[in-house]
Amino acid sequence: MITFRYNRIVNRLSRTLQREQWKIARELLGWMVCAKRPLRWREIQAARSINTTEQTFEFQDYELRSNIQVYCGSLIQVLDKDRVELIHTTAKM
């Protein structure tokens, strides 16, 4: 039942977000699924700014100006001190 709910939310996000927003949402959700602890928003911003191919850091080009909930909807929760995590650990399964 829980998996069905997550699928429904992900499908809604894929339909309602613009192509670039959906690409960012998948990237963010992937990091949160793999994270062993809640990530800070600034850590996510920094990770997006690293270009491993060119070995550069391009914060201005990759800074997310929207709130993470715009991208990930109700799949995530914002905790104190600007930390973000999946709404429930079963989303990692």
DSSP, residue by residue, the chain: -HHHHHHHHHHHHHHHS-HHHHHHHHHHHHHHHH-SSPEEHHHHHHHHHEETTTTEE-HHHH---S-HHHHHGGGEEE-GGGEEEESSGGGG-
Domain that holds residue 42: 2-92
Confidence of residue 91 (pLDDT cuts 50, 70, 90): low
pLDDT of residue 93: 53
How many structural domains compose the chain?
Answer: 1
pLDDT tens figures, 19-73:
999 999 999 999 988 888 999 988 888 888 888 888 888 777 777 877 888 899 8
Confidence of residue 13 (pLDDT cuts 50, 70, 90): very high
pLDDT of residue 92: 56
